[in-house]
Amino acid sequence: MNEQDTHHPGSEVAPTPEHGTAVRLDEGHIVGDGGLPERFANPGLPAHVARAADLDEGAARRAEKQVATLFGLSILGTLLFIVFYFAIDLDQTVFIPGIGVTNASNVALGVTLAMGLLGIGFGAVHWAKTLMPDEESVEERHPLRASDESRDRVVAVLAEGGESSQITRRPLIKYTLGGALGLFAVPLVLQVAGSLGPMPQKSLSLTFWNGGPSGPGEEPEFRPLRLMRDPENTPVKAEDVTIGSVFHIMPEGLLPDPETGEGGTKHLLEEKAKAAVILIRLDEEIIESQKQRDWGYQGIVAYSKICTHVGCPVGLYEQQTHHLLCPCHQSTFDVPRDCKVIFGPAKRPLPQLRITVDDEGYLVSAAPFAEAVGPSFWERG
């Protein structure tokens, strides 16, 4: 800091023994030996005291190995993170004394990520404390663009810094630090890429109605599935669906037993979120399109319950107007006209699920959804 920066209107600059100048902040109030604590009067680091590594090359080599060991631990932690990321199933659990049963993947990834991060941190601190110069240097402020001479000097200083931090002479530190920092980016990229999940359009094209679990890597083969009431998990007979009635439906095999909580599919919430269907019986006379009539059964039609705007559940049915409403942003779908959008921000009709009945008269799916369910913006481009 130079004089110009600290000299306020109405203040004076007076000489002091320590720094050559002392600065008056206000009338009659002097910084330096005039009353402020020592740390303000003489800011900065204590005077340099030679360390073991400054005096003894053996001690410096020991410090170098310690720093390299810490960076090495970071490398090990990061490599283990990558291995565990792929090797440990997300549903796997582990018992930890004092904590109990917990998610194994979270524990393994947390510990190894901490190891990777702390290895770099402790290594850098130890390096700074043992080998890097700890003398305080003062740099004067200059105009924004430095002169060519100064710029050359900066380059020289950087080179000198490399030399004095010993990174140029200590290849073990240079390479282990490079490895630790370089590898540390990998888990971050993996975390971000992995957390984004599969491509939405693909994942929303596949639902439990395709024949079973539809998670990443699963391509179920189509089989007819009974339409089950949610949450009772009981099948629906066509004769039970009267005109004007509405049922919230899930595919057979998705929900667990409501009494015992047993059964059901893995990744229940994800599957439910994609497979939810709303079942309505209309007077066949008012259904406009032949396709809609063919894909239903005697006026009973099934539609994806996921709004094509941004995916809220479309759960409000107006019996008089035959409109389905999304409570989030009021998109309104006209059921007898192929569930077309008649109001609101949604851009396409709700996808229809083709249904029929089985030998016992229960409603079953006749085909999976013919298009992706949910928000339509995934389909752009």
User: Among 129-137, 164-172, 302-310, 360-368, which window interacts with ligand FES (CB under 6 A)?
Assistant: 302-310
d(CA 365, CA 38): 82
According to the binding rule CB under 6 A, does residue 273 interact with ligand FES? no
According to the binding rule CB under 6 A, does residue 326 interact with ligand FES? yes
In the complex, minimum distance from the CB of residue 311 to ligand FES, in angstroms, rounded to a whole number: 6
In the shown chain, the binding pattern of residues 115 to 154 toward ligand FES, with x for contact by CB under 6 A and - for none, equals: ----------------------------------------
| Token pair in block for residue 47 | 């005077």
Among positions 82, 88, 132, 312, the unique one binding ligand FES when judged by CB under 6 A? 312
Q: State which residue, 346 or 372, has the beta carbon closest to ligand FES.
A: 346
d(CA 48, CA 137): 11
According to the binding rule CB under 6 A, does residue 329 interact with ligand FES? yes
Tokens 């902040």, residue located: 25
In the complex, minimum distance from the CB of residue 293 to ligand FES, in angstroms, rounded to a whole number: 26
In the complex, minimum distance from the CB of residue 320 to ligand FES, in angstroms, rounded to a whole number: 21
Q: Would you put residue 298 in left (φ > 0), alpha (ψ -120 to 50) or beta? A: left
Residues shown for the chain: 381
Q: What is the CA radius of gyration of the chain?
A: 35
In the complex, minimum distance from the CB of residue 326 to ligand FES, in angstroms, rounded to a whole number: 3
According to the binding rule CB under 6 A, does residue 94 interact with ligand FES? no
Q: Would you put residue 126 in left (φ > 0), alpha (ψ -120 to 50) or beta? A: alpha
In the complex, minimum distance from the CB of residue 255 to ligand FES, in angstroms, rounded to a whole number: 24
User: Among 123-131, 160-168, 269-277, 344-352, which window interacts with ligand FES (CB under 6 A)?
Assistant: 344-352
User: Among 25-33, 46-54, 262-270, 310-318, which window interacts with ligand FES (CB under 6 A)?
Assistant: 310-318
Q: Using DSSP, state whether 356 is helix, strand or coil.
A: strand
In the complex, minimum distance from the CB of residue 348 to ligand FES, in angstroms, rounded to a whole number: 12
| In contact, 266 and 213? CB cutoff 8 Å | yes
In the complex, minimum distance from the CB of residue 376 to ligand FES, in angstroms, rounded to a whole number: 11
| In contact, 381 and 323? CB cutoff 8 Å | no
- What are the residue ranges of helices labelled H in the chain? 3-6, 38-41, 52-55, 57-87, 104-130, 148-164, 171-195, 200-205, 268-275, 290-295
| In contact, 303 and 335? CB cutoff 8 Å | yes
According to the binding rule CB under 6 A, does residue 306 interact with ligand FES? no
According to the binding rule CB under 6 A, does residue 345 interact with ligand FES? yes
Among positions 88, 246, 328, 367, the unique one binding ligand FES when judged by CB under 6 A? 328
Tokens 């066509």, residue located: 238
Q: Which residues bind ligand FES (CB under 6 A)?
A: 307, 309-312, 326, 328-329, 331, 344-346
